Amino acid sequence: MKTIKLAFSTSKRLCKHCIIFILKNVRYFIFFTLHYLYYLSKEWTFWFFLFFDIVGVLSNYLNRDFTFQKGTYFYIAVVCFTIANNEIIHEKKVLSVFKEKHKYIGHTFKINSLSFSSETDMLVSTSDRVVIIWNTYTAKIIQRLQCPTWIGIGFFINNDKNVIGIGGNGNFFNWDVKTGNILENKKILDSDSVGLTLCIKENLIAAAGKDGIIHIWDFPDFTNESIIKFGDFEIRKIEFSKNGDCLIACDVSGNVGLITIKNKSKNYIFRHPENEPIRYVTFSPNEDKLAFIDGSGFVYCYFINTNQLIKSQKSHEDMGLCCQFNHTGDFIASSGQDNKIILWRVGKSKLSKLFSIFGHSNAVTSVLFCKDSNNLISASRDNKIKYWNIDFLLFNWDYAK
């Protein structure tokens, strides 16, 4: 009986001391919790703060000035917390007490591409055997389009009444947005493809696959086929200029080229010295610049009128997958297999890194700037689409101007 009483008394005193310890150090536990949440975004911040957390708790518990005065520790923690907050840009939903404003829920496999409708009120995402059309602002599914193969790229046509795409086995698909029915299923290439582009002005459509050949047809009847040999390797991205007089392409051997449609002439503006794959290339909105990203995660900007090429510092730790200009052409968003998005300011002679965005748990395959603002939407192999509110940062931060 005495043993039981002694054990109970000891447990009671231990609980009392634990409660007193927690109450005395509650601010440090709060800091630790907040810092751990930051670990989800950037690892160095977590370890940096963890050191000060341990020092502060020990100092308070031992009632000593263990390296830092308590006030000094608190000041350093606040300053470092502010620095981290300025460096790491969170989703709008994270900033609003971690509550999501939009949840794009619908995909069960990795997402390959994103594209806006002409008014940006709808968003189309492609994946394995399914294409989903979303309401951009409510994240509600408007239509789920089924197909017998995976789709590598898709976009709206015909005043947003249809969606077209290409993917496995080189099959081309055309869906009716309203009914969700497949209107056309046609094999146009001999291999899988993620390269498809359309010039509405000239009624031209182009596709490219693994053989390095670009096929161009009159659209929508696929007549008057024209063939252009770009190289011997898989072409990852092609894009028409707005007036249809030229086309840009990139391949897995590190080539980026401008092709004149009329005479089929090729101008290789970039050949990677180590033949690293170039998986994405795109025009700026006014078509005076190109942006592309290589296998090491370097971002490039090519000024078409002056033939000037500028290269970013290395910031992605793995292969680059996508890059996009904002609506003014002053900023570039890049993404890669390191699960992050990086924002760049386009200068006359350099690309300046502004900040990184963390939040996906797998490779970020596609990024899109909203056309009416600098909000950003991203898709990932974690099956998630995320909305990022960054417009106030791009326009209010001094070093972004």
Domain co-membership, 8 together with 102: no
Distances (CA, A) of 372 to 120, 245, 349: 8, 27, 27
Structural domain contains residue 331: yes
Structural domain contains residue 36: yes
Structural domain contains residue 13: yes
Q: How far is CA 321 from the centre of its chain?
A: 8
Domain co-membership, 302 together with 365: yes
- CA pair distance 212, 229, nearest whole angstrom: 6
Domain co-membership, 7 together with 48: yes
User: Helix 43-62 crosses helix 2-24 at what angle (to 10 degrees)?
Assistant: 120
- CA pair distance 399, 401, nearest whole angstrom: 5
Domain co-membership, 80 together with 102: no
Domain co-membership, 307 together with 382: yes
Q: What is the pLDDT along the chain (401 residues), one digit of tens a residue?
A: 555 555 556 666 666 666 666 665 655 556 555 555 554 444 455 556 556 666 665 666 555 544 445 555 555 555 555 544 444 434 333 332 223 356 688 999 999 999 999 999 999 999 999 999 999 989 999 999 999 999 999 999 999 999 999 999 999 999 999 999 999 999 999 999 999 999 988 899 999 999 999 999 999 999 999 999 999 999 999 999 999 999 999 999 999 999 999 999 999 999 999 999 999 999 999 999 999 999 999 999 999 999 999 999 988 999 999 999 999 999 999 999 999 999 999 999 999 998 888 888 999 999 999 886 678 899 999 999 998 887 655 544 433 44
Q: Domain range for residue 297? A: 94-106+279-401
Looking at the structure of the chain, the number of domains it has is: 2
- How many Cβ atoms are within 10 Å of 11's Cβ, its own excluded? 10
Structural domain contains residue 156: no
**CA 95-99-102 angle, 5° bins:** 100
- How many Cβ atoms are within 10 Å of 394's Cβ, its own excluded? 23
Last-in-domain residue among 89, 117, 150: 89
Last-in-domain residue among 37, 63, 89: 89
What pLDDT score was predicted for residue 40?
Answer: 47
Domain co-membership, 98 together with 85: no
pTM (predicted TM-score): 0.76
Domain co-membership, 373 together with 304: yes
What pLDDT score was predicted for residue 85?
Answer: 47
- CA pair distance 285, 108, nearest whole angstrom: 33
CATH number at residue 305: 2.130.10.10
For 332, residues 6+ apart whose C-beta sits below 8 A from its C-beta are 291, 299, 301, 323, 324, 325, 326, 343, 344, 346, 351
Structural domain contains residue 171: no
Cα four-point dihedral sign 10, 12, 16, 19: positive
Domain co-membership, 288 together with 303: yes
For 247, residues 6+ apart whose C-beta sits below 8 A from its C-beta are 197, 206, 214, 216, 238, 239, 240, 241, 258, 259, 261
